[in-house]
């Protein structure tokens, strides 16, 4: 089975005061086992880690620059 990668940048949404949670959940819903979801955000989205862990994801985060975090979520099951 091919590994799928979905990438989503919510920095502009948050800058414009648009809540990106539904957009994030829509992207996550498309992920199957071993798929990767990459999220770009202006801050470390700590509350999201627990939500996606409950959905079977692990994550690695990296601060690329001030106000730019890259979080790589991997679907385990």
Residues with Cβ within 8 Å of 59's Cβ and at least 6 positions away in sequence, in order, are: 49, 52, 53, 71, 72, 73, 74
Domain segments of the chain: what residues? 5-75
How many residues are recorded in the chain? 77
- Tell me if residue 10 falls in helix, strand or coil: coil
Q: What is the pTM (predicted TM-score) of this model?
A: 0.93
Place of tokens 């957009």: 23
Task: Encode pLDDT of 45-74 as tens digits.
Answer: 999 999 999 999 999 999 999 999 999 999
CB neighbour burial string for 10-43, b if at least 16 within 10 angstroms, e if fewer: bbebeeeeeebeeebeebbeebeeebebebebbe
Architecture of domain 5-75: 2-Layer Sandwich (3.30)
């Amino acid at each position: 089975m091919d590994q799928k990668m979905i990438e989503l940048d919510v920095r502009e949404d948050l800058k414009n005061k648009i809540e990106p949670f539904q957009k994030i959940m829509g992207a996550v819903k498309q992920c199957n086992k071993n798929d990767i979801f990459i999220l770009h955000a202006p801050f470390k989205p700590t509350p999201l880690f627990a939500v996606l862990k409950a959905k079977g994801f692990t994550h690695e985060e990296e601060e690329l620059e001030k106000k730019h975090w890259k979080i790589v979520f991997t679907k385990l099951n």
